Structures are given as structure tokens and as C-alpha cells.
Amino acid sequence: MDTVGNIDIAGNIQKNNSIKNELNSCDCKKDINKLVEKLSLFNKMYNLVRVVDPVKKRVYECKEDNFCELDSYCYQFWKQDKICDNCISMRAYRDNDTFIKIEYVKEKVFIVTAVPVNLGDKIVIVELLKDVTSSMVVGDDVVQGSNEIYSIINNLNQIAIKDSLTELFNRRYINERLPVDILNSVIMNKPISIIMADLDHFKSVNDKYGHVNGDMVLKAFAETLTGSVRKGKDWVARYGGEEFLICLPETDTNTAAEIAERMRNSIQNKTFIYEGKRFRITASFGICTFSGNACITIEDFIESADKKLYDAKKEGRNRVKF
């Protein structure tokens, strides 16, 4: 079993484990006061100014001269019961850069700007929300109501995190979502497993049957993976090329191995047809489970699963290693 300990999110989760404690610490008071003074200037320019902990999804609103922690998660402002798929605050946190996107709630359209701010040796994300409903022009012949507006905005946001070929999540989504799921596992004291999956000899499929058929195989593999996991809890992403990452929150190694074995059997039993000729393909799987107390980076967590995938390839392919 390949097991790792507490994940060091974005370099050092222990340094950024609780923004609330950091904001309340005596050492940060001077920096906080300076930040509040600066943010107060934005209160007249924006409808809402807030500080977000993108990993723990906690939110602090800037009202007058004080930060006020809300008894809710940042995404609940958007009337969502789940973490946003396209979290620009997480992206701003990881990339240390400013990002902007459009969101829609309560028949209002908002421009959201996420800005990383250094608070001493810490990084917090300032979100600036501007209601632009009245200043947006949408043709009545194109959009007839709020549902259409929401659909357009949601589709635009989904494009940023979806792989166009397989319609799975992409590498960007992995970088934004995996740290959050890991931290949730730490808080709940429950295991989390990831599976790295890779099609065997995929290059030969492209060479022999063409890239169009190669794309068909990738889509079928993606459907096999998504059909083997829990909807709404687990998620699947295309890591790159013919390699995929499957995230299984609250899942131990044995259960992850059963899921991977189900995926392996499913793909090897599929039959593809090219110019009247039938062919099959297999896949290899590597599993890593998060539990324990050691510190490791997100990249090392993925690499641990990738090493098990490499072992599966080295030992003959079409197998699961954990």
C-alpha cells in the first residue's frame, strides 16, 4: 500500500492552515490595519469586498473598518451547495496572480476580481464583487430570461476547467480542487485516494488506426472512468495525453483498488471496430492513499500514484498497483 501523510498544500499548508487565526494574531495586527485601510477605499467602488481563504472556503467580509467572519462558506453567496468548479480565488492563490470572471445569482450579474495580497509572510485573497446587471446589454432575441443568462455564464466558466475532447475536468481543475478535497479529508479525519490511469500502448492505436479512432478510444475510456465512480462526490480529470486522474474522497486503499480493478476490467472488455476489424485496448492503474501525519506537497502526492502506475507498466501493464 502506498500511503502518504498530511499534504503540504501550495508549498506549506501549516503556514496557511487558518487565515482566521492568522488575522487575529498580534504579529499581524499592523498588517491587518493597513489592509483594512486600503480595502475601505474599495467599499464605494464595489458592492462587496471580502477576504477569502480559498483552501478552507472561509469568507471574511470587509465592512467599514473591520473584517467580519461569516458563518458560511464563500460559495454559498452564489446559492451553491457545493464548491465552485471554477474557483478563481484558488487559482489566484496558487498562481499568485489576479483573475476575473463573471458570476450570476438572484437575477444579478457580478464581475468578480480575485487579487492575492501578501499579509506579512502570508497570502490572502481579496475578492471584489461588482454588480454589473444594469450596465450589461443582452439582446432580448437571444436571451429571454434569467435561466438563459445563468446558462450562458455557467457554460463560459465550465469551458475554463473542462477538457474539450473527453468533457472531463482538466489539469487546471486538478490544481484548484485537489487541495480542497485533501484538506477536507484532514479536517474530517478520513482517507482520500487518487488513481492515476493510463492507456497501454496508446501510441500504437494512433499509428495503426489514426488519430480520429484514437480520440474515440480516449472518449470511451473517459466514459468508463466516470461510470465507475460516485456522481457528485468523486471526480475524474484528464491529466494529459492518455493519462487520467481519479479523485476518491473518503476512500481507503482497498476500496480504491476495487474501483480501479472495475475500471480495468471494463476497458479491457470493450471492443472497438476500425474498417471492419475489431480491436481491444487495456489500461494500467496506480493508487495512492492520503492518511497519516507526514508533510508532502500536492505534486508529491500525485507523483506517488504515478510511480505505482509506472510499476504497473513495468510489470506487464493491464494491472492495478497500490
Look up 242 and say whether it is catalytic.
yes
The answer to whether 115 touches 92, Cβ cutoff 8 Å, is yes
| C-alpha cell at position 84 | 465552485
The kind and range of the H/E element at 29 are helix 29-40
Q: Check residue 28 and report its DSSP letter.
A: G
The Cα–Cα gap between 177 and 200 comes to 27
| Contacts of 240 by beta carbon, 8 Å cutoff, 6+ apart | 171
Q: Which residues contact 188 (CB under 8 A, 6 or more apart)?
A: 250
Q: Which of 103, 242, 261, 299 is catalytic?
A: 242
Contact 222, 166 (CB under 8 A): yes
State the cell numbers at 161.
476547467
Residues 170 and 238: beta-carbon distance below 8 Å: yes
CB 94 within 8 A of CB 175: yes
In degrees and rounded to multiples of 5, residue 66 shows phi and psi of: -135, 150
List the catalytic residues.
242
